[in-house]
Every structure is written in structure tokens, then in C-alpha cells.
């Protein structure tokens, strides 16, 4: 069995295979990981050419609202800080919100298709279309008061090396924010091998708070200031679907990545969408989504970490 890079244990077990990709789980730190990991050159090429992220664009309003909350917390933990780097800055909504709040923003977005969106073009002198490795080589002398990694660390083949480099770019007393799927969640417990976030080759690592603590214990230099979790209505939908199907082996559930319908909807389908909207989005989701978070078992993990 492969060794877990996060905690060094070889108490790992095969978990699930999707196409040619195999996931293993570590019994010691609970991390779930892709093995073998795709080579870095292949991943770089994949992000340069093929990678798209439709859900990110569809959820602009939600992402901007969340950005405001994250930025307020960052200020609370480091009130004098101004310089912010968002690695994997996507469509640029987070950077745009930060820019509006007078943060001095920089971003790195390796995916070409995503980089070419309107906001990124508007912020173009501030966002670099580079892989993190290239960015680090060229700009490592520039340091920041805040670094944000939103839905990024799960894509990184060697998280330990990556986080070590990221911390090099952070000033002492600076804050690192990490947001990533939470393996210790009601969503994972319900979906298991159909887990929404088992998406190879994008997602190489899936973490719980326990596994991230192992990672940061190795790195030292840091203190976890706050760890919490949250969920989105589509995660509740994912759990309901799994419960209704009552099977762990259905078709792949991509409920967190809705594709934009490209054809006009039929009347029947529109009717269904309206019922779904009223019943689910307006009634069920606001009532039950907060329930997913009780006890720290929300679908997405959020960490605020201070560099000493
Ligand atoms: Zn482990």
C-alpha cells in the first residue's frame, strides 16, 4: 500500500477507482489521496489547456458574499495587513472584492480559459497567468500579509512542499486562509464512493481537520487560529439524492458542478425546475443546510493560520 505523505503512515487502504485513477485512504490521519499521482508536467498541461470550472462562474453572487466574510476575518486577525495574494484566483471575484476594500491585491491563476475572464482582464496587471512553481521562481522576493488558497490545496500533488513555499511568501504574523472539502463531513459519510469531490485528476488530496493538523505539525512555524466548516444547499441535495437512491454505486454525482443548460428548456422541464426551486431552494435548503454544519461536520473546511 502507498505511504501517506501527510503523516508518513503506511496504514493506507484502497478506497475507490474512477476510470484509471485510484484513491487510497490513510487510517492514521484520514486523508484520502490519488495514487499514483499524475506527473506535474501532465497536470500543468491539463490546467493550461483543458481545465474549466463552470460552477465558479455560475456562483458569482455567492462567491462575492463569501469573499466579504473572509476578508473581514482576515482583517480581524491582522488589522495592519494590506498586501494579499490569492493563489488559484479563478474568475477573480475574491480579488475584486478585496480590491474594492483597499487591499493591495495579487493573484496567480494557471488555467488559461479561466484567466481570460472579464474581471481578471480588468485586474490584469495584478493577476499572473502562471503555474505556482513558475510564479514562485520569478516573484519569491515579494511577500504578503495575507495569502488565500480557496479550493486549491486539494489539487496540489505535493502539499507539504507547496505549503512550505507558500509560507515563504507570507510575512511573519501574516495570515494564511485555506478552504477545502471536508472529508469529516455529513456529505462524505452519505455519499462515500460517490463523493461529490472525488474528481480525478483535479482532486488529488481530500483532507479532514485532523489530516491538515498533521500537515501543519510537520511544517511548524504556524498556529491554527480558527477552524470551522460550512455547507451549501447543493450539498444537502447531494445527501438527499444518495438517501433516495439508497445505493453507494450510482452514477457520479456532480451536484457541486452544475453545468449551464445550453438548450432551451421544454415546458415540462421548466415546470420541474420551478417546483424544485420553490420546494428545495426556498423551503428545504434554508431550513436544513445549517444542520449539516453541526459538530464541525460541514461540507467545506475553513482554516485561518498565522505564521509566527
Ligand atoms: Zn496519513
Within 13 A of 286's CA, how many CA atoms are on the CB side? 6
CA of 240 to the centre of ligand 1 (A): 30
Write the pLDDT tens digit of every residue in 175-187. Answer: 999 999 999 999 9
The predicted model scores a pTM of: 0.86
Predicted confidence at residue 233, as pLDDT, reads: 81
Predicted confidence at residue 99, as pLDDT, reads: 95
CA of 298 to the centre of ligand 1 (A): 21
**Domain segments of the chain as ranges:** 12-234+293-307
**From CA 136, how far away is CA 143, in angstroms rounded?**
11
Q: Which residues of the chain have pLDDT under 70?
A: 53-58, 246-274, 276-278
Predicted confidence at residue 262, as pLDDT, reads: 41
Predicted confidence at residue 272, as pLDDT, reads: 66
Predicted confidence at residue 250, as pLDDT, reads: 42
CA of 23 to the centre of ligand 1 (A): 13
- CATH class belonging to 12-234+293-307: alpha beta
Write the pLDDT tens digit of every residue in 205-223. Answer: 999 999 999 999 988 789 9
CA of 228 to the centre of ligand 1 (A): 21
Cell readout for 47 is 490546467
CA of 245 to the centre of ligand 1 (A): 32
Ion ligand 1 neighbours, Cβ < 5 Å: 4, 6-7, 9, 26, 28-29, 31
**Pick from 225, 232, 205: which is nearest to 293 by CA?**
232
**Pick from 109, 118, 113, 68: which is nearest to 88 by CA?**
109
For residue 160, give the 3-state DSSP assignment: helix
Cell readout for 235 is 450539498
For residue 222, give the 3-state DSSP assignment: strand
Predicted confidence at residue 9, as pLDDT, reads: 96
Amino acid at each position: 500500500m502507498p505511504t501517506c505523505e501527510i503523516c508518513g503512515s503506511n496504514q493506507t487502504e484502497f478506497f475507490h477507482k474512477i476510470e484509471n485513477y485510484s484513491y487510497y485512504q490513510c487510517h492514521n490521519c484520514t486523508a484520502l489521496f490519488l495514487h499514483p499521482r499524475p506527473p506535474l508536467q501532465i497536470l500543468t498541461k491539463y490546467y493550461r489547456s483543458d481545465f474549466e470550472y463552470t460552477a465558479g462562474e455560475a456562483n458569482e453572487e455567492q462567491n462575492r458574499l463569501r469573499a466579504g466574510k473572509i476578508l473581514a476575518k482576515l482583517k480581524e486577525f491582522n488589522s495592519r495587513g494590506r498586501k494579499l495574494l490569492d493563489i488559484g484566483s479563478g474568475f477573480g471575484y475574491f480579488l475584486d472584492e478585496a480590491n474594492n476594500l483597499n487591499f493591495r491585491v495579487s493573484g496567480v491563476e494557471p488555467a488559461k480559459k479561466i484567466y481570460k475572464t472579464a474581471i481578471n482582464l480588468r485586474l490584469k496587471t495584478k493577476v499572473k497567468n502562471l503555474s505556482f512553481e513558475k510564479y514562485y521562481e520569478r516573484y519569491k522576493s515579494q511577500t504578503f500579509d495575507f495569502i488565500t488558497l480557496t479550493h486549491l490545496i486539494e489539487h496540489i500533488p505535493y502539499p507539504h512542499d507547496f505549503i512550505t513555499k507558500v509560507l515563504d511568501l507570507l510575512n511573519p504574523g501574516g495570515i494564511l486562509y485555506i478552504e477545502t472539502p471536508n472529508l469529516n463531513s455529513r456529505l462524505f459519510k452519505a455519499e462515500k464512493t460517490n463523493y461529490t469531490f472525488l474528481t480525478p485528476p483535479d482532486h488529488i488530496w481530500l483532507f479532514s481537520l485532523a489530516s491538515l493538523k498533521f500537515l501543519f505539525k510537520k511544517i511548524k512555524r504556524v498556529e491554527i487560529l480558527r477552524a470551522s466548516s460550512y455547507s451549501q444547499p447543493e450539498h444537502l441535495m447531494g445527501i438527499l439524492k444518495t438517501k433516495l437512491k439508497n445505493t453507494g454505486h450510482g452514477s457520479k454525482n456532480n451536484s457541486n458542478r452544475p453545468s449551464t443548460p445550453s438548450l432551451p428548456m421544454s415546458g415540462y422541464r421548466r415546470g420541474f425546475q420551478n417546483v424544485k426551486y420553490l420546494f428545495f431552494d426556498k423551503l428545504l435548503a434554508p431550513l436544513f443546510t445549517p444542520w449539516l454544519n453541526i459538530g464541525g461536520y460541514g461540507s467545506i473546511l475553513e482554516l485561518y493560520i498565522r505564521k509566527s
